[in-house]
Structure 1
Amino acid sequence: MANSLARNIALGAGIFLVSVTLGGGAALWDLAGVAAQAEQAPAAPPAVPASVALVEAKATTPSDEFSGRLEAIERVEIRSRVAGAVQAIHFREGALVKKDDLLVQIDPALYAAEVDRAQGQVSAARARLIFTRADYDRGQQLTTSSITQRDLDNRSNAFHEAEANLAAMEAALKTAQLNLSYTEVRAPVSGRVGKIEITVGNLIAAGPSSPLLTTLVSVNPIYASFNADEQVVSRALKTLADEKTPNEIERIPVHMTTVSDTSPIKGRMQFIDNQVDPRSGTVRVRAVFDNHDGRLMPGQFARLSMGQPKPEQTLLISERAVGTDQNKKFVMVVDGKDKAEYREVQLGASVDGMRIILGGLKAGERIVVNGLQRVRPGVTIKPEMVAMNSASLPQTKTASAN
């Protein structure tokens, strides 16, 4: 009995030791598994450093850009008013000329002779008038017994006929003098002459059949015509609704750049058409620019910037804060937890290197303005607050968001 009890106690102790050993091994295995899982779990990505600026509303004068062409205010086809042979050309092709400069000389000999003949006829008519006046005066001084009424009437008629004849001869002289002056073809306006279309020695006709000698276009000032969006024009005219001055549209700011000169040239709004083109939704607009040095030429391509007469409260952001995603424009908004959020925006006009935002942002929000190529939606940002000033930011390339 004692031996049986001892064996049971020994067996129980062995079973306990085996259980403890197995349990301890399982515990050790669980701890090792947890440690392995901890080593395999990825660490949290570091915050991406980026320059961040606050979106603010500011009073600006927004402008919109349009393509246009330069036009001469005056364009003249130079033709001769009289027939004759071309005697001399007094200009160089493409040269600047002043009003009344001599351009072409037509042979004046025939017209000078006409002037001499007309002058002779005027002298004869004047002498006839002097004689008939004196004869009529003598007749009036005679008594009724010395001259008949019929004779007096004849003298009066001769006098008045001589008076009318002198007037006709003087008119003919003026015509001859005008024709003689027309043999000198002069510039009707100041500007730039074109190609010589006819050379010395050629006979030319007068009137509508007269051949083209050259063309002349005015240079200073010069027009710039363009088609502006009807909404832009309507907004500008609405701002001027209370203005009653004749030149109210001159308050609309307009600037121009050309391919050869990228520096903005300030102009003056001169004309806004009275109707909208229903096919394009645009309005014909024309501005005038100073061109005293003649560097601008009619037909030249230009970029026109049309502004608004009064400042407006708008949201302005840096150009470098805007990314391109296919045909969309976007910015990266930094939320309250410093997380990057993809936000599509609608862009307006450019103002001094900044861009007007028409939709997609609100004042007070934060956006990434530098380092956009390193930022993806959802990442944590390490913001460095800077001013919303494109001039103080280094040049960076933006990347499309996924």
Structure 2
Amino acid sequence: MEVTDRLTIVDLLRVMENRVRKPKQYSRGWIQVIFNRIKEATSRMHGGLLAIFLFTTLVVSLGCSSKEGKEAPLPEVVVASVEQKDVPIFADWIGTAQGFNNATIRPQVKGYLLEIEYKQGSVVKKGQTLFKIDPREFKAQLDMAKGQLGQAKANLEKTKSHVNRYRPLAKQGAVSQQEFDDAVQNMLAAEASVATANAQVEQARLNLSWTKIVSPISGVAGISVTQIGDLVTTETELTTVSQLDPIKVNFPISEQSYLDFAKSAGRLTEQGNVSELGPVLELFLANGSVWPTKGTPFVVGRNVDESTGTILIEGRFSNPQNVLRPGQFARVRADVGVYKDALLVPQRAVSDVQGKYMISVVTPEDKVEVRTVDVGETVKEDWIITKGIKAGERVIVEGLQKARTGMKVKPVSQATFMKQDKTAETGTTAAVSGEVLAPVSDRMDRRHMTELTAS
């Protein structure tokens, strides 16, 4: 046998040794390759007997290494017992905050906007001036109306003097009755003219006063829609002032929720005055925080919306710092009663599979039984199960992906389960690192196997 043949056999023996020591790195598919190389290398030695010997040894090593694996351990899961107790039931509704009073500010006369006299976005008082329109035109109209009033008064005095003069003359027959009657009619017409002139003066005075646009309510004034110099009319919206303390929250609820809410909080009065229920509403903001003060349902809508099947409720909340603003998201919650003997499981134990709710129950024999259940309300991190389980049964909350119907599992604590998961992750990382940073001898073995395959 030549030197190269001896080296090849030595290399093959090293591979066989590693196959026994690290069986996962070499598959059974290498058997035929190794046998062919051994047969070729020893074709000049003992008619291939050595090849058969080495091949037999390799097969035995494969068989032995496959028996070294231990039986797979049972999947570990974390379970929780089904609790049965009385729980308060809360109903949540989505609503929108609205100003208690919202006044849209529009001018009452047409003109050019001269000044914006309020700090936009700030609190204003009732009667405070917000805008000014150029008053010159309206002042001129007032002066003209006053002049017309003066003329009307002068004409009235003239007609009165005629009547006073004609009255004794008519009695003496010095003037005709027709002339006297005409004088009286002229006096009455002059009086009417004076009244008309007075009204025109008052209208002109109002128009002039309306060049100062004031707030009709106290509240927060919005940003001005117009700018100085704009020509505004009675249709132009300038801004909006909203009374924010208290603030309204409007939210629609279903008919059933309304009846449950009214029943739990106490019967309504004959007049339907829900404000007598008191502060029974909680308010949750967009960031999840709870408003510090509870609100009172104040108004119930007149009718149920036929398209949605809901009825509108108006709740009122104290808002002393004007933090809540119109249009703001609001989630309203109310206590609607107590659920007697409710069966509770953690929400993470329930799986939604194509619209059906499934729970994996662990039997006393530690076998998995997957059931379809009916769910009710959520209570914090738990879910009320109305059908499908019994009190005291164990449900899987961690390791659901490992569980199958009829499979036997090993219930462990949460800490043990988390520790096993961390160990598994560390092992995976180490395996990947070991593959990258394998010893030189292992890489040499793989090189030999590659060369054998290429041959």
| TM-score for both structures, normalised by structure 2 | 0.57
Structure 1 residues 326 and 49, CA gap change in structure 2 (3 angstroms): closer
Deviations 1:77-124 (A, max 9, x none): 433222222221112332222232211111111211221221232233
Deviations 1:292-344 (A, max 9, x none): 32111122112111443xx5563357776973334637698999x9x999884
Equivalent residue, structure 2, for 1:324: 350
| Inter-partner Cα distance in structure 2 for 1:70 and 1:319 | 35
- How much has 1:274 moved relative to structure 2? 1.2
Equivalent residue, structure 2, for 1:303: 331
Equivalent residue, structure 1, for 2:258: 233
Equivalent residue, structure 1, for 2:148: 121
Secondary structure of the corresponding residue to residue 171 of structure 2: coil
Q: 1:82 aligns with which of 109, 124, 136?
A: 109
Structure 1 residues 299 and 186, CA gap change in structure 2 (3 angstroms): same
Equivalent residue, structure 1, for 2:304: 275
Instruction: Report if the CA contact (8 A) 1:315-1:357 is conserved.
Output: no
Instruction: Report if the CA contact (8 A) 1:189-1:218 is conserved.
Output: yes
Instruction: Report if the CA contact (8 A) 1:64-1:349 is conserved.
Output: no
Equivalent residue letter for 2:245: N
Equivalent residue letter for 1:257: F
The gaps in structure 1 that reach 5 residues or longer are 1-47, 382-395, 398-402
Q: How many residues in Structure 1 have an aligned counterpart in Structure 2?
A: 327
Instruction: Report if the CA contact (8 A) 2:345-2:384 is conserved.
Output: no
- Which is worse superposed, 139-148 or 175-184? 139-148
- How much has 1:207 moved relative to structure 2? 3.5
Equivalent residue, structure 1, for 2:217: 189
Secondary structure of the corresponding residue to residue 292 of structure 1: coil
Secondary structure of the corresponding residue to residue 220 of structure 2: strand
Equivalent residue, structure 2, for 1:255: 282
Q: 2:238 aligns with which of 196, 213, 223?
A: 213
User: Residues 38-57 of structure 1 correspond to what in structure 2 (within 5 A)?
Assistant: 55-57=84-86
1:108 and 2:157 equivalent? no
| Inter-partner Cα distance in structure 1 for 2:256 and 2:112 | 57
Structure 1 residues 130 and 362, CA gap change in structure 2 (3 angstroms): farther
Equivalent residue, structure 2, for 1:29: none
Deviations 1:191-243 (A, max 9, x none): 333333332233x14344xx443343442333323332342124345677763
Equivalent residue, structure 1, for 2:51: none
Equivalent residue letter for 2:180: L
Instruction: Report if the CA contact (8 A) 2:81-2:392 is conserved.
Output: yes
The gaps in structure 2 that reach 5 residues or longer are 1-76, 412-416, 419-455
| Inter-partner Cα distance in structure 2 for 1:125 and 1:161 | 10
Equivalent residue, structure 1, for 2:317: 289
Equivalent residue, structure 1, for 2:47: none
Percent sequence identity over aligned pairs: 24
Equivalent residue, structure 2, for 1:16: none
Deviations 1:36-76 (A, max 9, x none): xxxxxxxxxxxx99997973447x5x321122222334444
| Inter-partner Cα distance in structure 2 for 1:301 and 1:103 | 29
Structure 1 residues 154 and 72, CA gap change in structure 2 (3 angstroms): same
Q: 1:93 aligns with which of 117, 120, 130?
A: 120
Secondary structure of the corresponding residue to residue 228 of structure 2: coil
| Inter-partner Cα distance in structure 2 for 1:139 and 1:312 | 95
Secondary structure of the corresponding residue to residue 238 of structure 2: strand
Secondary structure of the corresponding residue to residue 333 of structure 2: strand
Instruction: Report if the CA contact (8 A) 1:230-1:276 is conserved.
Output: no
- How much has 1:161 moved relative to structure 2? 0.8
Instruction: Report if the CA contact (8 A) 2:268-2:274 is conserved.
Output: no
| TM-score for both structures, normalised by structure 1 | 0.64
Deviations 1:253-311 (A, max 9, x none): 32211024612442222233512444x55444332323232111122112111443xx5
Instruction: Report if the CA contact (8 A) 1:330-1:345 is conserved.
Output: no
| Inter-partner Cα distance in structure 2 for 1:286 and 1:332 | 45
Secondary structure of the corresponding residue to residue 173 of structure 1: helix
| Inter-partner Cα distance in structure 2 for 1:184 and 1:329 | 68
| Inter-partner Cα distance in structure 2 for 1:99 and 1:90 | 14
Instruction: Report if the CA contact (8 A) 1:219-1:291 is conserved.
Output: yes
| Inter-partner Cα distance in structure 2 for 1:200 and 1:120 | 32
| Inter-partner Cα distance in structure 1 for 2:191 and 2:225 | 47
Instruction: Report if the CA contact (8 A) 2:345-2:383 is conserved.
Output: no
| Inter-partner Cα distance in structure 1 for 2:360 and 2:203 | 77
Q: 1:169 aligns with which of 197, 215, 222?
A: 197
| Inter-partner Cα distance in structure 2 for 1:165 and 1:194 | 45
- How much has 1:166 moved relative to structure 2? 0.8
Instruction: Report if the CA contact (8 A) 1:219-1:297 is conserved.
Output: yes
Structure 1 residues 292 and 77, CA gap change in structure 2 (3 angstroms): same
Q: Is the helix fraction higher in 1 or 2? A: 2
| Inter-partner Cα distance in structure 1 for 2:277 and 2:360 | 35
User: Residues 298-377 of structure 1 correspond to what in structure 2 (within 5 A)?
Assistant: 298-308=326-336, 311-312=337-338, 314-315=340-341, 323-326=349-352, 328=357, 344=373, 346-348=375-377, 350=379, 357=384, 359-360=386-387, 365-366=391-392
Deviations 1:161-216 (A, max 9, x none): 111001100110111011101111222333333333332233x14344xx443343
Instruction: Report if the CA contact (8 A) 1:322-1:331 is conserved.
Output: no
Secondary structure of the corresponding residue to residue 188 of structure 1: coil
| Inter-partner Cα distance in structure 1 for 2:209 and 2:243 | 23
Instruction: Report if the CA contact (8 A) 2:282-2:290 is conserved.
Output: no
| Inter-partner Cα distance in structure 2 for 1:108 and 1:292 | 37
Equivalent residue, structure 2, for 1:71: 98
| Inter-partner Cα distance in structure 1 for 2:345 and 2:268 | 35
Structure 1 residues 378 and 142, CA gap change in structure 2 (3 angstroms): farther
